[in-house]
């Protein structure tokens, strides 16, 4: 009888230990790669794969059912993942040299994906809250992306293809959406969303284009398209349900749109060289159309 009781206790203890176990897998092939994994909690999972020379990975997981996967192929790539909470997920893929990725997740069911292909790219993702989603893709050299999400159900997608492009996204609130696409050389985008259900799309293709979008309120929508060189756009939306569309095709075009109120709409189209437009809307339901061309 004593043996039966002891066997039962051992089985129960083994079951409890198994149920609370974390899982870590590290595979390294090459020279001077380094990996550090720290797990505290229940059923966290970490996978690290390193192929090459001098790659470094650090994973810290605190909580329940967090998942992290890191793949580094090349030389001197660096990845740092910090997860605190439950059901957070992170995927980091670095192919090339001297790429750097930092992912920090605090909360519940946040998701981050980072893909870097090239050299000297830098990505920083900070997520605090519930069900925030971030995707960063950097192809080329010396691209920089910074994503900060605070709240719930915010979504950010950053795609950079080229050299020296810079994107900064800040989302504070509920259900905001940002999409940034940069192709070319030294394009700059800054998106700040404060509130609920704001949406921003920025598309840049060319050289030294600059876009700044600021949204404060509810359900504001902005689209900025820049194709060419040295174009500059500023959009400020404060209020609810304002809509702005800016399209710049050419060189040295400048646009500023300021919307304060409810349900204002603005469309700006600049085609050619050296145009300048300023739109100010204050109130409810105002509409503006500006078309500028050298033809």
- Residue 13 is predicted with a pLDDT of 37
Low-confidence stretches of the chain (pLDDT < 50) are 1-19
Task: Look up residue 50 and give its two tokens.
Answer: 């390193």
Alpha-carbon distance 191 to 294, whole Å? 30
- Residue 295 is predicted with a pLDDT of 79
For residue 3, report the phi and psi dihedrals to the nearest 5 degrees. -65, -40
pTM: 0.93
- Residue 20 is predicted with a pLDDT of 62
Q: Mean of the per-residue pLDDT values for the chain?
A: 94
Neighbouring residues of 10: CB distance < 8 A, sequence distance ≥ 6: none
- Residue 34 is predicted with a pLDDT of 98
Are 221 and 193 a contacting pair, CB within 8 Å?
no
Are 112 and 85 a contacting pair, CB within 8 Å?
no
In terms of DSSP bridges, do strands 199-207 and 221-229 run parallel, antiparallel, or are they unpaired?
parallel
Region label for 241, one of left (φ > 0), alpha (ψ between -120 and 50) or beta (otherwise)? left
Alpha-carbon distance 89 to 279, whole Å? 42
Alpha helices in the chain (DSSP H): 2-19
The three-state secondary structure class of 87 is coil
Residue 46: closest CA among 31, 57, 30? 57
> What are the tens digits of pLDDT across the range 225-246?
999 999 999 999 999 999 999 9
- Residue 4 is predicted with a pLDDT of 33
Alpha helices in 43-87 (DSSP H): none
Alpha-carbon distance 91 to 117, whole Å? 14
CB atoms within 10 A of CB 9: 10
């Amino acid at each position: 009888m004593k043996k039966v009781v002891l066997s039962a206790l051992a089985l129960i203890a083994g079951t409890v230990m198994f149920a609370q176990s974390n899982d870590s897998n590290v595979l390294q092939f090459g020279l001077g790669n380094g990996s550090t994994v720290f797990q505290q909690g229940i059923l966290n999972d970490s996978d690290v794969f390193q192929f090459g020379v001098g790659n470094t990975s650090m994973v810290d997981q605190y909580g329940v059912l967090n998942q992290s996967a890191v793949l580094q192929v090349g030389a001197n790539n660096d990845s740092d993942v910090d997860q605190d909470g439950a059901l957070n997920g992170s995927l980091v893929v670095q192919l090339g040299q001297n790429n750097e990725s930092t992912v920090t997740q605090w909360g519940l069911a946040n998701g981050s994906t980072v893909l870097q292909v090239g050299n000297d790219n830098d990505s920083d993702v900070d997520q605090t809250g519930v069900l925030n989603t971030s995707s960063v893709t950097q192809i080329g050299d010396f691209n920089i992306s910074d994503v900060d999400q605070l709240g719930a159900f915010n979504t950010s997608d950053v795609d950079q293809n080229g050299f020296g492009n810079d994107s900064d996204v800040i989302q504070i609130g509920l259900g905001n959406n940002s999409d940034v696409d940069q192709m070319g050389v030294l394009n700059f985008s800054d998106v700040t969303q404060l509130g609920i259900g704001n949406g921003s799309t920025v598309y840049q293709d060319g050289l030294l284009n600059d876009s700044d979008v600021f949204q404060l309120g509810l359900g504001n929508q902005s689209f900025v398209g820049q194709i060419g060189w040295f174009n500059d756009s500023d959009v400020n939306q404060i209020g609810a349900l304002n809509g702005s569309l800016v399209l710049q095709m050419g060189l040295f075009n400048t646009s500023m749109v300021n919307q304060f109120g409810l349900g204002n709409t603005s469309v700006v189209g600049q085609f050619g060289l050296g145009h300048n437009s300023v739109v100010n809307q204050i109130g409810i339901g105002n509409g503006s159309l500006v078309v500028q061309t050298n033809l």
